Amino acid sequence: MRLHEYQSKQLFAKQGVPIPRGEVAETPAQVRAIAEKLGGAVAVKSQVLVGGRGKAGGIRLAKSPEEAEQLAAGIFELEINGLPVRKILVDEAAEISTEIYLGVTNDRTQGSPVLIASAEGGVEIEEVARTHPDKIARAWVDPLIGLRDYQARNLAAAMELPRQHWSEFSQMARGLFDTYWNSDATLAEINPLVITRQDQLLALDGKIVIDDNALYRHPELEQLRDLDEEAPSEREARGLGLSYVKLEGNIGCMVNGAGLAMATMDVIKGLGGEPANFLDIGGGAAAEKVAAAIQIILADPEVNSMMFNIFGGITRCDEVARGILMGLEQVPREVYLVTRLVGTNEELGRKILADAKMDTASSLVEAAEMVIEAAKMGVTE
Amino acid sequence: MSILIDKDTRVLVQGITGREGLFHASQMLDYGTQVVAGVTPGKGGDWVLDGKVPVFDTVERALAATGANCSVLFVPAKFAGDAMLEAGDAGVPLVICITEGVPIQDMMKVRRYLDQEGVRLVGPNCPGLLTPGESKAGIIPGRIADLGSIGVVSRSGTLTYEVLYALQQAGLGVTTCVGIGGDPISGTRFTDALQMFEDDHHTEAVVMIGEIGGEEEERAADFISSSMTKPVVAFIAGQSAPPGKRMGHAGAIIEAGSGKAADKVAALQSAGVSVAENPEAIPELLN
């Protein structure tokens, strides 16, 4: 679960990380009021959970409350990478002399948190990693011990940060790490961390991603969830215990198991078809779950054909076949469907579907070819 | 022959009185696995599965009474981290965590601790291990694999079954199938399993099933080109997956430009690995 910039910075501030004075507004008039209160120039920043806000014109600098209100009116009209702007953060503008990157994430290979710092702040760290890999300093944190003071100093030294800032920088690194650790984040970053002309360190922008599997121990963070983060169909699927990702194609897919679901999409794509979605119905697929999955797939108007790929290990193919028939009865739309059933009770499952005059296949490639053919003809019976 | 488990492996099931734990313990018993004990705190003294398996309150007691040397966990995600540590501290040398959804922070601590204690962890979020005809420690359906000379290691569940089934249809048997799991942080990695298969005299070739996310396939490619003499055939799932989206598994996500299927395929191919276009094409690449 991703947090907005203003939410992230508020969490940082609780751990002693200095952030600009600022407040969140939901209307241009509120933006003006906040700007008046702050006095002087302000940054007017759209709060949407996608990258590229700056490029899309979602972050602007205003010299007066009037200008802030005017800019905000325009920003509230924007749609940034498909997301509406519902909130704007109004921050006191900082006079920047230096921009630094400071982040912490999980290193999958090392199995530990890694603190990353770079003197090349203000741009995406992936970009720096590509163009100036030597400009990135890392410190791996032992998950059983936690961040040690010298590690933060090492980062400051590696960036050749002037010594006068080391102590303040170390405190910020500590605050960032504590925020990350205490909130079960998978990523927490300050970008840019600026040194102002007044020689103060400030977290100008912030980002936090929380581990969904750990949200149960952070009910206060769960409440910060922005429902715009995922498509309504994906949210609905998640509520039903299904893993669904909408794609651009016209061939609906239903598969048991995430790896097999990806492989099924790959085979369809590899043979010239366009999958409409990723959908993993999970193990033990009860009929109700199958029915719910069918409804979610068919709610996508682009879908004109479907392929179900079921490998029955623990799951019984006959049970799935019955679930498919039950599910199809509940949906008014009729589109071409081919089902590939392999494993436990496959003959029984195939017979149930054949009796209902439905196509079945025994191999993955065969099924994919059948559904691609149908999708191309745009069969909607 | 095999790696990690064989007919002498004495399996303990943590969470045996839960729905999943009980069902799969019974499947393991039916397969011929020596399921010698179960653990559920508060249920010590009970017997389950027609009185065949005793239940203990703690792993320590189960070990003292039965000499189990492998633990398979079906413990709910909230308690799985603690259960893995309990197994390690009690002296279980091989811990297999089937549970999905364990918080990443828990896994970072558990993996570091068990590594330091010399305990081998497989998983979490994995289907476990299968040595055909000898032992099954996990949830891989037993009848889709025959004993043979192919080692299988995979990040997936049903996709692994798909591959095992394709091998069986082609008349190819398996030494051991290792499901390492779909989480971002797991105990046993590809490189660990490849090393074990390289050292196992009965394994003649290895099938490796990877997917998008992380860099373990790239590390495996480095390992294969530097340290493996046996042929490796691979399949990488997620060629058509969009970036930034989690594809079912917690670890299956292309992020910050890293973890793409194409990069993994390229790395493996340059290490001399044959990469199959689809799972059904794997057997012919082994010939």
Residue B4: Cβ-neighbour burial (10 angstroms; 0-12, 13-18, 19+): buried
Condensed to tens digits (0 to 9), the pLDDT of residues A221-252 reads 999 998 887 888 888 888 888 899 999 999 99
Domain shared by A87 and A179, yes or no:
no
Q: What is the DSSP letter of B241?
A: P
What pLDDT was estimated at residue B94?
A: 98
What pLDDT was estimated at residue A370?
A: 95
- CATH number at B10-122: 3.40.50.720
Domain of A111: which CATH number? 3.30.470.20
**Residue A183: inside a domain, yes or no?**
yes
Testing the interface with B: which of A213, A307, A372 to mutate, by most B Cβ within 10 A? A213
> Chain B partners of A344 at a C-beta cutoff of 8 Å?
141
Domain of A277: which CATH number? 3.40.50.261
* Whether B181 contacts chain A with CB within 8 A: no
> Alpha-carbon distance A82 to A50, whole Å?
9
Residue A379: is its pLDDT beyond 70?
Answer: no
Smallest Cβ–Cβ distance between B280 and the set A109, A256, A363 belongs to A363
Boundary residue ending a domain (A46, A68, A92):
A92
Inter-chain CB proximity A213 and B214 less than 8 Å: no
Residue A343 confidence class, pLDDT cut points 50, 70, 90: confident
* A312: amino acid identity, one letter: G
Give the SS3 label for residue B226. Answer: helix
Residue A284 confidence class, pLDDT cut points 50, 70, 90: low
Boundary residue ending a domain (A154, A187, A222):
A222
Smallest Cβ–Cβ distance between A365 and the set B78, B113, B280 belongs to B280
Domain shared by A55 and A159, yes or no:
no
Q: What is the DSSP letter of B103?
A: -
Condensed to tens digits (0 to 9), the pLDDT of residues B103-115 reads 999 999 999 999 9
> Alpha-carbon distance A88 to A47, whole Å?
6
Domain of A52: which CATH number? 3.30.1490.20
Q: What is the DSSP letter of B255?
A: B
Condensed to tens digits (0 to 9), the pLDDT of residues A86-133 reads 999 999 999 999 999 999 999 999 999 999 999 988 888 888 888 888
Residue A320: is its pLDDT beyond 90?
Answer: no
The size of chain B, in residues, is 287
> Chain A partners of B77 at a C-beta cutoff of 8 Å?
213
Q: In chain A, how many domains are there?
A: 3
**Residue A14: inside a domain, yes or no?**
no
The residues of chain B scoring below 50 in pLDDT are: none
Give contacts of A 252-311 with B, CB under 8 A.
Answer: 255-263, 265-270, 275, 278, 280, 283, 311
Give contacts of A 313-372 with B, CB under 8 A.
Answer: 313-314, 342-344, 363-365
What pLDDT was estimated at residue A380?
A: 47
> Alpha-carbon distance B114 to B95, whole Å?
9
Which of the pair, A300 or B254, is modelled with greater confidence?
A: A300
Q: How many CA atoms lie within 13 A of B102 on its CB side?
A: 31
Give the SS3 label for residue B154. Answer: strand
Q: Which residues pair with B233 in a beta bridge?
A: B207, B274
Per CATH, B10-122 and B140-286 having the same topology is answered yes
What is the CATH T-level fold of the domain B140-286, as seen in this structure? Rossmann fold (3.40.50)
Which of B24, B201, B202, B249 is the catalytic position? B249
Mean pLDDT for chain A overall: 92
Residue A352 is part of which domain span?
A: 232-377
* Whether A52 contacts chain B with CB within 8 A: no
Q: How many CA atoms lie within 13 A of A271 on its CB side?
A: 20
Output the 3-class SS for A195-210.
EECCCCEEECCEEEEE
**Residue A3: inside a domain, yes or no?**
no
- Nearest C-alpha in A relative to B158: A257
How many CB atoms sit inside 10 A of residue A26's CB? 12
Residue A285: is its pLDDT beyond 90?
Answer: no
Only one residue has tokens 């966990």, namely B73
Domain shared by A114 and A188, yes or no:
yes
What pLDDT was estimated at residue A316?
A: 78
Please say whether the beta carbons of A108 and B215 come within 8 A. yes
Please say whether the beta carbons of A371 and A336 come within 8 A. yes
The domain limits of chain B are: 10-122, 140-286
Tokens of B184: 């971002």
Domain shared by A31 and A81, yes or no:
yes
Boundary residue ending a domain (A48, A64, A92):
A92
Condensed to tens digits (0 to 9), the pLDDT of residues B30-55 reads 999 999 999 999 999 999 999 999 99
Inter-chain CB proximity B103 and A283 less than 8 Å: no
Output the 3-class SS for chain A.
CEECHHHHHHHHHHCCCCCCCEEEECCHHHHHHHHHHHCCCEEEEECCCCCCCCCCCCEEEECCHHHHHHHHHHHHHCEECCEECCCEEEEECCCEEEEEEEEEEEECCCCEEEEEEECCCCCCHHHHHHHCHHHEEEEECCCCCCCCHHHHHHHHHHCCCCHHHHHHHHHHHHHHHHHHHHCCEEEEEEEEEEEECCCCEEECCEEEEECHHHHHHCHHHHCCCCHHHCCHHHHHHHHCCCEEEECCCCEEEEECCHHHHHHHHHHHHHCCCCECEEEECCCCCCHHHHHHHHHHHHCCCCCCEEEEEEEECCCCHHHHHHHHHHHHHCCCCCCEEEEEEEECCHHHHHHHHHHCCCEEECCHHHHHHHHHHHHHHCCCC
> Alpha-carbon distance B19 to A321, whole Å?
24
**CA-based nearest residue to A36, from A69, A60, A9:** A69
Nearest-CA distance A335 → chain B (Å): 23
Domain shared by A202 and A257, yes or no:
no
